[in-house]
Amino acid sequence: MGFSKDFLWGGATAANQIEGAYQEDGRGLTTMDTLTVGDAQNPRQITYKTVEGQVCKDERLAAVPEGATGYIDPEDFYPSHTAIDFYHHYKEDIALFAEMGFKAYRMSIAWTRIFPTGTEAEPNEAGLAFYDAVFDECLKYGIEPVVTLCHFDIPLYLADTYNGFSSRETIDYFVHYAETVFKRYKDKVKYWMTFNEINVLRSWLQMGIHPNDDATKAQAVHHLLVASAKAVQLCHDLIPDAKIGNMIMYAPSYAMTAKPEDVMENITYKRQVEFYLDVMVKGYYPAYKFKEYERKGIELVMAADDLAVIEAGCVDFIGFSYYMSTMSTTDTSIPKTPGNNMMSYKNPNLEVSEWGWALDPLGLRIALSEMYDRYHVPLFIVENGLGAVDVVEEDGSIHDDYRIDYLDTHIRAMRDAVDLDGVDLMGYTPWGCIDLVAWSTGEMKKRYGFIYVDVDDRGQGTFKRSKKKSFYWYKEVIAHNAENLQ
């Protein structure tokens, strides 16, 4: 009973939230590089000047001349530019992962390190070499790299020139990028995922799209799904012994009451994520999606072979993030609370984190059961964790018992899913295994890591790494395959 011997224990990060060095060795700009720091009260801003010097805040797209590559306003602070400087600390960081006993490290490749604008015919060798070095460092310690091709970082040039995934050209550029990295790393990387949290991508920032109306979004999502399916097929062809998954944000949703209206509302809500799973795992567009588009007057433009491509590009596993559950109701007077990429009705049965996200370990078992029962493919929890403020004591120690409690209850819930429900679970890579820039707010003080990084919300600090109490705790969990947890 319990987790298999080859269970992939590890941790997860993303390029734009850790690497920094945003203009080093030929890296091009991404849409994420235009995002300033915010906090729980003040949303992050997209601040961006075009090459012609127009200042554009948020509505900037209206003013961008065709083909502009633009530059970043030096007046603002952009967390991705320095992040935690993994680019220069990766050896030290991976050594710490190894010390915890990681079997896997989930990370992403920055598309613009390989193709600075996204459109070059030849890749940037310095960018490729960087990831060679990172993968070699992992493999030296027996850590399997688990690589996301695209984690919220679309080349800025593709956004400016092609309106990102609104246009079919971007599919081809993405596929060229995927093919390049598959060929280069085929002997080093055996676990891949296509787009991070594909079900929450909806804006200029993550898809490079403009304008942001329902029809443009639906078309861009279709292009993402085709691009993903093409990458899956390529991976199967080029690296037959690799496994490639999708990556979705999964927050199980509960009907607030047994009222049939609430239950129907919940079904409708759940279809928002099931749509992506139906397409990527089962290989077909579900009827409810076509009906929804019909009601909204959206007519998707499809190439003749798009549906065949989707059918042939089914993933080998479902990778997903789990942080919280949510709730559906027809009663719109119910108070709301923030959640991962959403505002959620507040479930009166659950406590929330400092950032308002519902705390629900059993929800992880529910998520695993729902997906395994419906899709029958292996599952991989590639993000989970608690964002919290850590206090560094005078002696440098950090007692993050709250994080240990969170992870302990979630790991036990996933063990139940394996032991009691028969779920096929490949691995667990908790989010932000080393402190990193929070995606929603851009803060450093919202920390997830087992490893503390001395950097503040304005990118100031020594960048020194230190081990939190949870570091030692997680090391024991991995060493005992979680059998030490009660």
Site for ligand BG6 contains 341 (CB under 6 A): yes
Q: Are strands 425-428 and 8-12 parallel, antiparallel or unpaired?
A: parallel
Is residue 18 within 8 A of residue 39, CB to CB? The reply is no
**What gap in Å lies between CA 330 and CA 258, rounded to an integer?**
12
CB atoms within 10 A of CB 234: 17
Close Cβ partners of 223 (under 8 Å, ≥ 6 residues apart): 165, 166, 167, 168, 170, 171
User: What residue has token string 């070059």?
Assistant: 120
**What gap in Å lies between CA 45 and CA 204, rounded to an integer?**
12
Taking CB under 6 A as the criterion, the residue among 8, 14, 18, 273 binding ligand BG6 is: 14
| Stretch 355-384 residues interacting with ligand BG6 (CB under 6 A) | 383
Q: Is 383 a catalytic residue?
A: yes
Build a one-symbol-per-residue string for 377-416: x at contacts with ligand BG6 by CB under 6 A, - elsewhere: ------x---x-----------------------------
CB of 148 to ligand BG6, least distance (A): 9
Is residue 223 within 8 A of residue 208, CB to CB? The reply is no
Q: Which CB atom, from 251 or from 418, has the smaller least distance to ligand BG6?
A: 251
Query: Which tokens sit at 119?
Result: 């459109």
Backbone angles phi, psi at 78, to 5 degrees: -115, 110
Site for ligand BG6 contains 321 (CB under 6 A): yes
Taking CB under 6 A as the criterion, the residue among 44, 346, 410, 446 binding ligand BG6 is: 446
CB of 471 to ligand BG6, least distance (A): 19
Angle between helices 86-100 and 469-479 (to 10 degrees): 50
Is residue 247 within 8 A of residue 195, CB to CB? The reply is yes
Span interacting with ligand BG6, options 38-46, 50-58, 166-174, 433-441, rule CB under 6 A:
433-441
Q: What is the CA radius of gyration of the chain?
A: 21
User: What residue has token string 């942080």?
Assistant: 323
Site for ligand BG6 contains 159 (CB under 6 A): no
Site for ligand BG6 contains 272 (CB under 6 A): no
Taking CB under 6 A as the criterion, the residue among 197, 278, 400, 457 binding ligand BG6 is: 197
**What gap in Å lies between CA 454 and CA 463, rounded to an integer?**
5
CB of 170 to ligand BG6, least distance (A): 21
Taking CB under 6 A as the criterion, the residue among 108, 340, 344, 384 binding ligand BG6 is: 340
**What gap in Å lies between CA 461 and CA 483, rounded to an integer?**
38
CB of 383 to ligand BG6, least distance (A): 6
CA atoms within 13 A of residue 220's CA, in its CB half-sphere: 27
**What gap in Å lies between CA 414 and CA 361, rounded to an integer?**
9
CB of 470 to ligand BG6, least distance (A): 16
Pick the closest to residue 320 from 245, 275, 382, 362 (CA basis). Answer: 382
Active-site pick, 137, 265, 383, 443? 383
Span interacting with ligand BG6, options 206-214, 263-271, 432-440, 476-484, rule CB under 6 A:
432-440
Q: Which CB atom, from 197 or from 408, has the smaller least distance to ligand BG6?
A: 197
Q: Which CB atom, from 336 or from 480, has the smaller least distance to ligand BG6?
A: 336
Site for ligand BG6 contains 481 (CB under 6 A): no
Taking CB under 6 A as the criterion, the residue among 408, 440, 444, 474 binding ligand BG6 is: 440
Site size with ligand BG6, rule: CB under 6 A: 15
Q: Would you name the residues annotated as active-site residues?
A: 383
Question: Applying CB under 6 A, which residues contact ligand BG6?
Answer: 14, 17, 196-197, 249, 321, 340-341, 383, 387, 431, 438-440, 446
